[in-house]
Amino acid sequence: MEHPSSQSLFAQLRSACISQWHAFTHHRFVAALADGSLPEPAFRNYLIQDYRFLVHFARAYGLAAFKSEAISDLRAASAGLMALIDQEMPLHVELCATWGLSSDDLDAAEETETTLAYTRYVLERGLAGTLLDLQVALAPCIVGYAEIGQRLIEAPQTGLTGHPYRRWIETYGHPDYQEVASGHIRHLDVLMQRQGSASRMPVLIRTFSDATRLEAAFWETSLHASVDRLPGPATTSGTGR
């Protein structure tokens, strides 16, 4: 992922919410995932809930297409949706299959309060606001995962050989996903020029902060997963390659 200019909207939003951003991107869930010590039930719970999360994000991209004013907006919405369909959701289905969970199981999974709160918040920002408001609400997830993936895949201490969560790290550290995040950052600047103003920054910062805090809460909820509450058989099989 290319380093955003300090003048970009994303860089300004991240700078205004730097403590929340660090709490999200350096959460203890991420640290445990990086060194492979994350308990399997926590990762499994995360994958199931994140799959449900992505279903609603796909709806958000549909809303983004509806609110589009230019072909560039439609292309950005399409790129985000295809990243979900072609990269992220297949990863979740593949890894959950190792625990005997089918895509039907994932579709039927009950959403946690955290998943409900985060996904409905993003959709509300899109319904109540402009396309810029919606894309700002989506930004912490899209760009944050790229930042985490890039950091983990480049860190010598991660050690991908035999890593139980290698597929996850490789997916979000892959150049294809990195470009999706870079494209989102660029599109935010286009939208800011068209729909934004200095007077709108407090609202945009609040949206970015809220979504970032909800990302950290998503990690935290997954850490407290109970084996008894998870669908599918309990296993000790790894998910690495």
Residues in Cβ contact with 34 at an 8 Å cutoff, skipping those fewer than 6 apart: 152, 155, 157, 158, 169
How far apart (Å, rounded) are the C-alpha atoms in residues 130 and 112? 28
CA distance 160 to 67: 41
- Cα 30 to Cα 55, 221, 222, 223, distances in angstroms: 22, 13, 11, 10
CB 29 within 8 A of CB 220: yes
From the candidates 17, 40, 141, 170, give the one annotated as an active-site residue.
141
Residue 24 burial (CB count, 10 A): 25
Has 141 been annotated as catalytic? yes
Question: Which residues carry out catalysis?
Answer: 141, 215
